[in-house]
A and B are shown apart, each in its own frame.
Chain A
């Protein structure tokens, strides 16, 4: 779909010929994300009306205890220091952002009075600023009023490198100005297509100035409120044992009517995904369990006991196999997988294409992930059956064999193909998790048939996903030929997602392996497209550029997408728990209630 057609569609939405939802689904089919689609509409002046989840209770409280299970327990409760969704989700019990992302990718005002649009003057035509009107009468748990000063403070706090906030990326390039007590203006240095970043969703939770004010900068970790939050959220803080349990109780002064429903909340950690699923679905000890990367067969069996149900929510997460472009087995300047080296056989496009043909995505979907992972050919893809028309995938051992034969890779004495003394032997690593090890085995078997020998390696998740600079087993070090994990679309915009292929983002010793480009693939063409998209204010042109970037990545087999991974959670049968794939699991905690 080209730019003109897109504009036509947007016009149809404006005139009512096409529903907003249908437009969004069409964009999903093009490999775009739902939030991007709604932003395209917002920029074209079409109001975004978020549909609030249905809420039945007619009074606050009286719902008894709510017991939820986060099998990786939260370790701290300051959203600006949160590492991973476990900490963010727990912080979200007590803290709130100005706006949240609903499952459709619409902005839902929380502490904002309304969502900024061009009509209400919230968005500037040039895309250089956003004006947020704050909800009035909101009180912190200790009774202090919530005002624009708090928002300005959060910007100063997070943007200060000395604070070492994990949210710094959302705040460092903006300027926040207080217009009056209940209005703030976020200013960008250049036209910014994706404006809903600071104060929104995962990174947008707001902490009170009167408690954190004196702890900005280097003293940030000393604030007592880091472990005893005082927020605006639906539940107030009771106690917290890091790495174990969080307790909260009903906030009697919550700023939304009749909410929250439950009297107390307990967020418990520990165990693993399967035992968490069992505690909700089979034994009914808990009401809700988070992040269930469990084989669908097991989930179905647990569900059959009738105590709970599995909730599958669309998201942009994708489980994919990365191919190393550099040599992981020889040090260059004291560094493995150095960008100065070249991979001995993955530099050959025929070998890359062969690997692409040897991943049986359909079986991985059908026999392992089921509902919890659809096979896909795209890297950027909203989890819908619609896939970008430009890409496709295929599983064929015969084709891979022919391809390798034609490229001169001949089977050696041990059946493993080789060429000029280089053997097709690959180390294929991932984190320890049953579905991942099974996927590894399926790929290994197909590769063996084609004459490629695979050595499977699995690393415990806490090491694999750690940011330890000295540990070679982490994914950014990529000391393996292939590796597999899920990239979460933590921010509902492909901008950050696509940084993973920028030449300047290559993970290396020099940048302490913080670079996002783990595959170390470099392409001038991609960089050019990304640069254009970064500057492009017109959301339609920008969308077309992202599709082109996705296709480039897939065409060059930089990564092999396996399955899209929706957010999979489990909830007790009668628990009403709205979940969004674009925001924290607890994004709508105030709306949770039990059907009686």
Chain B
């Protein structure tokens, strides 16, 4: 971590360097990170699961070609079978098809909202961390202001105000998507901003930064090349938490009727619909809940692994 005494990497890493003398020049920071990431078994498992989920929701509907809204009253609340691998809901709709379709929405909302919040948070955090005095103070006031806003009511207000205009601009589904992503992202950047700022405070006084500054590096270069890469560890962990929070926030909005239309089966919506039938059709809720759980867990492990891999001072 920042501020801790760096152990010497040369002692442990020496044999590798010796064996790979001929290729030593080719080891870029990214291949090094990849090598370190692979050592984190849970992270690798998480990455595999997450990639599999993305592949499944991306290509699954091309293979499993059942309509998501095909109502069949003869097959209500059926447990998993060959005809319906994940069973059916109370309108006899195939849950596998719905899960695959809903996964596209839930995962893309989660990832996109995470990107939005991290980008905003990092920019604000870095500016605040590099500048001293009034800009820093103003930005932190802004952060505190956002932290103190009750996010759900404000989200509801934002969506209520802009839903219609977005719908007219780019269509119902895409409009809702963009609005939800931006709204969730805009209310989750504060943690990232504070983390980045704290990291900047610690790092900007370090010797290597001073050395860079002595060599004449500009503020921008100092930020982008020297400090930011070293500050990313905790931000990546925060990002993984954001993915989970965004998936859950999307479900909350669907529940309140301000998310996607109710017939679009995002995972949160499936879980909501399933709750009244938990006693007779647990499969309905379990698959949707399991998918949310698994994706959030996988992303968290990946974040853990990435943090270790991207922290050059950590010895693996």
A interface residue numbers (CB < 8 A to B) = 274, 294-295, 297-298, 301, 363, 366-367, 432, 434, 437-438, 440-442, 444-445, 455-460, 472-473
Contacts and interface: CB of A to CB of B under 8 A. Distances in A.
Contacts of B70: 445
Contacts of B279: 301
B262 interface: yes
B257 A441 contact: no
B263 A434 contact: no
A295 B91 contact: no
> Helix, strand, loop or mixed for chain B's interface?
loop
Nearest to A446: B71
B273 interface: yes
Interface string B68-90: 01110100100000000000001
A336 to B, nearest CB: 10
B277 interface: yes
Contact of A445 (B69, B76, B164): B69
B172 A458 contact: no
Contact of B276 (A298, A440, A473): A298
B11 interface: no
A434 B276 contact: yes
Contacts of B69: 441, 444-445
Contact of B73 (A274, A367, A460): A367
A276 to B, nearest CB: 12
Contact of A441 (B76, B172, B263): B263
Nearest to B277: A298
A366 B76 CA distance: 13
Contacts of B164: 472
Which 8 pairs from chain A and chain B are nearest by CB?
A458-B262, A460-B257, A456-B263, A437-B262, A432-B257, A458-B257, A456-B261, A274-B276
The size class of the interface chain B forms with chain A is 20 to 34
Interface of B: 69-71, 73, 76, 90-91, 160, 164, 172, 256-258, 261-263, 273, 276-277, 279-280
Nearest to B269: A437
Contacts of A444: 69, 263
B276 A460 contact: no
Contacts of B261: 455-458
Contacts of B256: 432, 460
A455 B263 CA distance: 9
B262 A456 contact: yes
A440 B71 CA distance: 12
Given A444-B263, A458-B262, A434 B273 contact: yes
Contact of B263 (A367, A440, A472): A440
Contacts of B262: 432, 437, 440, 456, 458
A301 B90 CA distance: 14
A445 B164 CA distance: 24
B88 to A, nearest CB: 13
28 contacts: A274-B276, A295-B276, A298-B276, A301-B280, A363-B73, A366-B73, A367-B73, A367-B91, A432-B257, A432-B262, A434-B276, A437-B262, A440-B262, A441-B69, A441-B91, A444-B263, A445-B69, A445-B70, A445-B71, A457-B261, A458-B257, A458-B261, A458-B262, A459-B257, A460-B257, A460-B258, A472-B164, A473-B160
Nearest to A294: B276
Nearest to A436: B262
Given A367-B91, A444-B263, 15 more contacts: A295-B276, A298-B276, A366-B73, A367-B73, A434-B276, A438-B91, A440-B263, A442-B71, A445-B69, A445-B70, A456-B261, A456-B263, A458-B261, A458-B262, A473-B160
A274 B273 CA distance: 12
Contacts of A274: 276
B90 A438 contact: yes
A235 to B, nearest CB: 33
Nearest to B272: A434
A438 B90 CA distance: 9
Contacts of A457: 261
A367 B92 CA distance: 11
A472 B258 CA distance: 14
Contacts of A294: 276
Contacts of A459: 257
B72 to A, nearest CB: 10
A69 B279 CA distance: 22
A366 B73 CA distance: 10
A295 to B, nearest CB: 7
A140 B210 CA distance: 86
Nearest to B275: A274
Nearest to B264: A456
A442 B92 CA distance: 11
A496 to B, nearest CB: 30
Contacts of B90: 295, 297, 438
A441 B280 CA distance: 22
A367 B276 contact: no
Contacts of B276: 274, 294-295, 298, 434
Contacts of A445: 69-71
A367 B71 CA distance: 11
A304 to B, nearest CB: 10
Interface hub of B69, B73, B172, B263 (most chain A Cβ within 10 A):
B263
Nearest to A329: B168
Interface hub of A274, A295, A432, A437 (most chain B Cβ within 10 A):
A437
Contacts of B71: 441-442, 445
A455 B172 contact: yes
Nearest to A275: B276
Nearest to A432: B257
A52 B276 CA distance: 38
Contacts of B172: 455
Nearest to B67: A445
Contacts of B277: 298
A131 B171 CA distance: 62
B33 to A, nearest CB: 46
A455 B258 CA distance: 14
A457 B90 CA distance: 20
A298 B276 CA distance: 7
A449 to B, nearest CB: 11
Nearest to B77: A297
A458 B160 CA distance: 13
Contacts of B73: 363, 366-367
B280 A437 contact: no
A442 B69 CA distance: 9
A459 B156 CA distance: 12
Contacts of A434: 273, 276
A566 B164 CA distance: 36
Contacts of A437: 262-263
Nearest to A454: B263
A440 B261 CA distance: 11
A438 B263 CA distance: 9
A493 to B, nearest CB: 34
A455 B163 CA distance: 14
Contacts of A432: 256-257, 262
Interface hub of A301, A363, A438 (most chain B Cβ within 10 A):
A438
Contacts of A438: 90-91
Contact of A367 (B76, B257, B258, B273): B76
A297 B172 CA distance: 33
